[in-house]
A and B are shown apart, each in its own frame.
Chain A
């Protein structure tokens, strides 16, 4: 163990918070993905646990509903031997009017080391990181970012396609309300993929022309060309007004149907961040078909979140 360090071991992860992928370099993103590889194996053993966060406390601070992400973070923290506190909006003093900062400071007084936060306001994770000493991991803030989802998506793509360099990727659906689309866009483009946002004009974000993506209003135009298609969930809970005339019409133009799949590349990867509205974003046959990697995404999410928790804690150890 006292031998020479190889060159690639010189890289240091410096961030004690993981707030978004927009501000990370390609090298940093790749470093998280490489680290995550080492965590995949833990979930295959007889004892599905390793000790790096022993004695640390992770708090899941979720102000919005979540099943997948929250359980994934809880399991990730548990597998790293941390203690986990679950905090939900409805079962806490938030419903009594406590502010985000007061809630966080109270949790911190209990000796929390890492806060995993989901909040409906963009910038909430960043705000928290500036006001408490604990590490902060963003599990989704408003329409801004959901970095671990972006990471697990590129992790899954890299695992199957080996590299993102030169891949053509379509992100389809409700782009405007999607932090997943944004985090994916940053991670994918930084790693060299060409990203196209696909959806009706009413579901495109303002100033989409300033983002490093192409835009298409027709899935039919794009489907034949892409290596990966990432179907976003229609978030009925966020949709105001009438962004599309009817669910049937949306599905007709932007749903991933068996018919459309026939025109796609045979090895196209079909992704979805979940939960799926079956028959709306995609037909069940596609969701459960051989091109679908949806369950692989969930599995990889665990490894990626373990890596994220491990790395922010490591950065905090250096800074102390």
Chain B
């Protein structure tokens, strides 16, 4: 187990992502943040409050459960069954710029599922992907618009994100 990010670094990354988003998105558009369950949800909440502070207006935040949109639901498997949770997006995403947030971008399959799910919720002006960790190993043509930490770990290794709200500690580890 090797710690690649500590809590201070995570905080720094979120601050950087926030200022990049603010500098790149034209103020004429409504912005909303949507996190992918479960760690993406927490990161999205933090990002939306940082964006709200930075922009001086309330940036709405929602949570997306992508379980029903996974591409491995009906494939034979022995591993854990995915658990369906709730999608909670209390605002209309039409014509907004949606910042989709996940903790780790790896194969791109979660992002693909999230994109399909968002399509059933409405028609945003644009969807931008923001991730804390961008890990090599894409299986789909998907990339992050706002990537925090980029890493190149071996396929067999696990990148684990721990956040205070869900895990009581805050760090990203490999191994």
Contacts and interface: CB of A to CB of B under 8 A. Distances in A.
Nearest to A47: B120
A37 B88 CA distance: 11
B127 to A, nearest CB: 16
Size class of the A contact interface (CB-based, 8 Å): 35 or more
Contacts of B39: 3
A47 B122 CA distance: 8
Contacts of A51: 68-69, 116
Interface residues of B, number: 39
B86 A41 contact: yes
B160 A4 contact: yes
B76 to A, nearest CB: 4
B167 interface: yes
B122 A46 contact: yes
Contacts of A5: 80
Contacts of A41: 86-88
A46 B123 CA distance: 10
B121 A35 contact: no
Contacts of B38: 3, 6
B81 A12 contact: yes
A314 B122 contact: no
B85 A38 contact: yes
A23 interface: no
Interface in A283-308: 307
Contacts of B67: 38
Nearest to B70: A52
B1 interface: no
A4 B103 CA distance: 12
Interface of B: 36, 38-39, 65, 67-69, 73-78, 80-81, 83-88, 102-104, 106, 110, 116-117, 119-122, 158-162, 166-167
Interface of A: 1-6, 8-13, 35, 37-42, 45-47, 49-52, 55-56, 80, 307, 310, 313-314, 317-318, 320
